[in-house]
A and B are shown apart, each in its own frame.
Chain A
Amino acid sequence: MKENSIVNRYDVVVIGGGPAGLAAAIEAKKHGAKSVCVIERDKELGGILQQCIHNGFGLHIFKEDLTGPEYAERFIIELMESGITCKLDTMVLDISEDLDLQILNTYDGFMHIKAEAIVLAMGCRERTREAVNIPGTRPAGVFTAGTAQRFLNMEGYLVGKKIMMLGTGDIGLIMARRLTLEGAEVRAVLARRGYPGGLMRNVAQCLHDYDIPLMLRHTIVKIIGKERIEGVLVARTDEERKPIPGSEELYECDTLLLSLGLIPENELSKGAGVKLDPATGGPVVNESMETSVKGIFACGNVVHVHDLVDYVTDESRRAGKSAAYFVRKKLKENGLLIKTEPGKGIKYIVPHLIRVDNLNKSLQLFMRVREVYPNSRLIVKADNEVIKKSRKMHMTPGEMDNIRIDPKILQQRKPAILSVQVKREEE
């Protein structure tokens, strides 16, 4: 490996060329960053969207019902036209606290890049079987839903014919339909909890439409098979999601797909000393999507797992614009600082910190609830005073919620803590 002596310098370096990285780079350029570089390890831009061939993207941003690749292509074209440097097939190996990046590819070799600001947009990865520890053999035929999605939609390889699925994340639900359309039999989709992890619309149009059984409160207790998987033992689960002894039943299959959710990809962030929130698995961020390390911003699934790409785009535009403002020294660092705090029923809130002076229009708080709440209210408190109530017909951990707050209220009241809690209608 040769060490390249040329040190490159950019105003803003974006790591990851998925929807988050694309939107952040475009917006950074628009807001005055003179040189912007996107670094992507894959051979093309678009990130995970290129394998998400189903529709349902862009309803908010474009008011159109697009597929993943269509959504990505709009941003890729805009990026190409805005004079942003793109390094494909390039891996970021390390980031230092003083914003020096080590990168590696086959055309530059090993190289250092110096950035005035960095935007982390590495997305997330799928939870794997090891994460849930299913006993039994380790035969071939066990895939994550996302891997099966890439194989089928990009390489044209069908992973199996008789499929069992553990987990009800959106990718899994969408793959259940996709595999059925391609002639495979999806025998059942199992959820350990009493509700599905993905969006209701995906349960409706992917499972109900094709009569695929959704078995709530069930899990797999054993994988059977030598070379290739031959079956799984399925058991009912109790209130604590633990299998109930004696309830086991054998299901034959040639493939097991796992759709157990996503985890933000933060190995690089940790290396740079970025503080992570255990509840999201991503960086602690402020209103400008800046992390605990000055000049390092983050957006998209690397911060918290989004179920809607439109929100990824919104958030990433904010991160890109803020990175440009930071470089131009227009981001306000002092002034009133408010901490957000997840109250009863709320798992996390993004952003974690708010510097009120940087807010212009409204402040949007994103959050997930801890359990299913039909007909409830989100209650926002500035210190101990209620400043907003918002009625929600249905909240579930599988769907991200958000609430808008008028910055003027915060300027007037100057609270130290802004908290959100859930209240059931009858309470």
Chain B
Amino acid sequence: MSSEAKEIICIICPVGCRMTAVRDKNSPSGFLVSENQCKKGEAYGIEELTNPTRVLTTTVKINPGIYNRLPVRINGSIPKNKIFPCMKVINKVEVKAPIKIGSVIIENILNTGCDLIASRSMKAS
């Protein structure tokens, strides 16, 4: 296993700490993260080395809404390599207006354990 330090930019908050993360047998977590300004950065650094995840936001077709597209999001983080497969699934759906914010559009999308939900309410046109 590589013990090389990896430079990671923390994306958890806009401070955007430039951290270094490295595997370290002597630390309780098995990793050593430095230059992070808070605890969340440490968790993110470890995750980036082991199982990088992201929040996906996009839009779906809505009919007959006041706009053509409804903004949607996945209500959690999904593995990075699931992003494009999820986009494929999402681009096939179409929803009906009116819709309420938080409505589930696709349940447990691609078995990620997360749902695709509406990011806003939208009236019918």
Contacts and interface: CB of A to CB of B under 8 A. Distances in A.
**Do A and B actually bind?**
yes
A398 to B, nearest CB: 10
B59 to A, nearest CB: 6
B5 interface: no
Among the interface residues B59, B66, B80, which one has the most CB atoms of the partner chain A within 10 A?
A: B59
Contact of B119 (A56, A69, A152, A156): A69
A154 B11 contact: no
Interface in A358-412: 393-394, 399
A54 B72 CA distance: 9
A201 B11 contact: yes
Given A70-B119, A393-B37, A53 B71 contact: yes
The 4 closest A-B pairs by CB, nearest first: A200-B16, A69-B120, A204-B9, A53-B71
Contact of A154 (B17, B67, B80, B101): B67
B13 interface: yes
A153 B71 contact: yes
A351 to B, nearest CB: 22
B69 interface: yes
Contact of A200 (B18, B37, B119): B18
A63 B57 CA distance: 19
Interface string B1-32: 00000000111011011100000000000000
Given A200-B16, A209-B54, A154 B68 contact: yes
A203 interface: yes
Contacts of A2: none
A70 B83 CA distance: 21
B54 A205 contact: yes
Contact of B69 (A43, A154, A208, A399): A154
Contacts, number: 84
Interface in A21-69: 43-44, 50, 53-56, 59, 65, 67-69
A307 interface: yes
Nearest to A44: B66
A426 interface: no
Contacts of A178: 58
B25 to A, nearest CB: 28
B83 A201 contact: no
Given A50-B120, A65-B55, A200 B9 contact: yes
A387 B72 CA distance: 48
Given A65-B55, A67-B57, 11 more contacts: A53-B58, A69-B71, A70-B73, A70-B120, A152-B69, A153-B71, A156-B59, A181-B84, A200-B9, A204-B11, A393-B35
B14 A73 contact: no
Interface in A63-82: 65, 67-70, 72-73
A394 B14 CA distance: 12
A50 B69 CA distance: 11
Given A70-B120, A73-B121, A43 B66 contact: yes
Q: How large is the interface on B (under 10, 10 to 19, 20 to 34, 35 or more residues)?
A: 20 to 34
A69 B13 CA distance: 19
Interface of A: 43-44, 50, 53-56, 59, 65, 67-70, 72-73, 152-156, 178, 181-182, 199-201, 203-205, 208-209, 307-308, 393-394, 399
A308 B16 CA distance: 13
A208 B119 CA distance: 26
Contact of B14 (A69, A199, A209): A199
A253 to B, nearest CB: 22
12 contacts: A44-B66, A68-B71, A72-B120, A155-B67, A156-B61, A156-B69, A181-B87, A200-B9, A204-B9, A205-B11, A208-B9, A209-B80
Given A201-B10, A205-B11, A393 B80 contact: no
B16 A55 contact: no
Nearest to B65: A154
A391 to B, nearest CB: 11
A307 B101 contact: no
Interface string B43-83: 00000000000110111010000111101010000001001
B71 A67 contact: yes
B49 to A, nearest CB: 15
B80 A399 contact: no
A209 B67 CA distance: 30
B122 to A, nearest CB: 9
B58 A70 contact: no
Nearest to A206: B11
B57 A54 contact: yes
A372 to B, nearest CB: 12
